[in-house]
Copies of this chain bind each other. A is one copy, B any other.
Amino acid sequence: MTVELISVGTELLLGNIVNTNANYLAIQCAGLGFSMYHQVTVGDNKDRLYEAIDTARHRADIIILTGGLGPTSDDITKETLASLLNKELIMDEYSKDRIMSYFKNKITENNWKQALKIKDSLVIDNDNGTAPGYIVEDKNNVFVLLPGPPREMIPMFEDKMLPYLQKLQDKVFLSRMVKTCGIGEAKAETMIIDLINNQTNPTIAPYAKNGEVHFRVTASANSSKEAEQLLEPVISQLQARFANNIYSLIEEETLEEVVVRLLSDHNLTLSCAESCTGGLVAGRIINVAGVSDIFTEGFITYSNQAKMKYLNVKESTLKAYGAVSEQVAKEMAIGAAKASSSNVSVAITGIAGPGGGTEEKPVGLVYISCFIDGDVFVNKYNFRGNREKVREQSVIAAIDLIRRCIVEIYG
């Protein structure tokens, strides 16, 4: 089975956005055992899109199109494919109802465009936006139409398109995820380079994502059971190599979900005291649904004043060691736990830059402290990159430190 990817959107040709969809879908298709020989990007232009689809359908079995499903006049993917296949566009009552209930009284004329479907196509719900996806089966090809925004495209692909595509493949492809945090991509790869170099079946594909490194292990076999048996020993080897750096073997489980689960399992409550991360750690923790049982309050103490007022950090400590120091991180964590009566707390203080760095305390220096049941752990980090990058890495390190501390103490 061959697959060709067509990304539609003038914004890609102008460089307004990076085409991460192409990367995501390439990984997914490789995992499905499809051969991808071409990726093509065209703008919101009917003639060029027509030509691209026409070329693709003669050289690939499956054509995946992303983008161009929006409500505006330059969204033309559905219309162009319909005209190429000589199929009608018809009003889909189901989509119409969904759009009506979504927009209530705020429907503008062009919203109705999204209720049109190519005749005989399957309409695929979009749970994160208004543009549905479509599967169009033609004599020699299958066309998969996905919305452009990754946060609409990815869930739709994973929940709805993947099961469909899996059925087109006669081999069983099974993949498992090993999700690590706390080691860089290059180092992680070096730690298992022998396994990667000798891989045949299962394959091991590493990829770095938001400061984490994930490994997708994929086996192909004649049955699920056989595939499982092939996966088992490789997963065990990765577990042995990466040990505590692995936070989950469940593909959809995020680091913050693991932390919330661990806290909840051990009847622990959490508070946060953040300086340079300014609320982002709590912000990510609170993205987990049902977090109210374990999280009640957090402190954004950007100024020294606030650190003293809310967290009881001593003025003498600030004077002696500076706000970005092991000692202050420690007092912040203790203070947050006390003020909020939580069993666990995490505190972050650092120099995110671009200003504020010195030779002794350069930009990127961050102290993260975790208080847990009376014990306090502090880690020192030297992160690279700009302000945003330093803060992002601090957030991940802080959430990961909570995880490591709970695992350390509660096993």
Task: Please tell me which stretch of A158-166, A279-287, A368-376 contacts chain B, meaning at least 4 of its Cβ atoms lie within 8 angstroms of it.
Answer: A279-287
Q: Assembly of this chain: how many copies?
A: 2
Q: Which of A188-219 contact B (CB under 8 A)?
A: 189-190, 193, 196-197, 205-209, 216
Q: Is A384 an interface residue (CB 8 A)?
A: yes
User: Chain B residues with Cβ under 8 A from A94's Cβ?
Assistant: none
Among A20, A111, A208, the most chain B Cβ lie within 10 Å of the Cβ of A208
**Given A190-B108, A296-B305, CB of A278 within 8 Å of CB of B282:** yes
Cβ of A299 within 8 Å of any chain B Cβ, yes or no, is: yes
Say yes or no for A90: interface residue by CB 8 A criterion. no
A18 → B minimal CB distance (Å): 4
**A37-45, A78-86, A258-266: which one contacts chain B?**
A37-45
- Cα A102 to Cα B278 in complex, Å, equals 26
A274-316 vs B, CB cutoff 8 Å, 1 = contact: the mask equals 1011111111011101111001111111110110011000000
A128-B389, A185-B70 known; A302 and B295 CB under 8 Å? yes
Let me know if A240 is at the binding interface, CB within 8 A: no
Contact digits for A106-138, partner B, Cβ 8 Å, 1 yes 0 no: 101111000000000000000111000000000
In the complex, the answer to whether B306 meets A297 with C-beta atoms within 8 Å is: yes
Main secondary structure on A side of the interface with B: mixed
Residues of B within 8 A of A149 (CB): 208
A278: chain B residues within 8 A (beta carbon)? 279, 282-283, 285-287, 295, 298
Q: Do B102 and A384 have beta carbons less than 8 Å apart? A: yes
A182 at the interface (CB under 8 A from B): no
User: Which of B52, B297, B353, B384 contacts A303 (CB under 8 A)?
Assistant: B297
**Given A45-B37, A302-B296, A205 and B72 contact (CB-CB distance below 8 Å):** no
Assess whether A16 is interfacial by the CB under 8 Å rule: yes
User: Among residues 41 to 62 in chain A, which have CB atoms less than 8 Å away from a CB atom of chain B?
Assistant: 41-43, 45, 48, 52
State the Cβ distance, A175 to closest chain B Cβ, in Å. Answer: 9
- Chain B nearest Cβ from A148, distance in angstroms: 10
A93 at the interface (CB under 8 A from B): no
CB distance from A8 to the nearest CB of B (A): 11
> Given the known A-B contacts A15-B207, A37-B13, A39-B13, are A302 and B279 also in contact in the complex, defined by CB atoms under 8 Å?
no
The listed residue (B111, B196, B296, B303) touching A306 by CB distance below 8 A is B296
Can you list 5 A-B contacts with CB-CB less than 8 angstroms, sorted by A residue number? Answer: A14-B36, A15-B26, A39-B40, A129-B385, A289-B355
Q: Which residues of A contact B (CB under 8 A)?
A: 7, 10-20, 22-30, 36-43, 45, 48, 52, 70-73, 102, 106, 108-111, 127-129, 149, 151, 185-187, 189-190, 193, 196-197, 205-209, 216, 272, 274, 276-283, 285-287, 289-292, 295-303, 305-306, 309-310, 340, 353-355, 384-389, 391
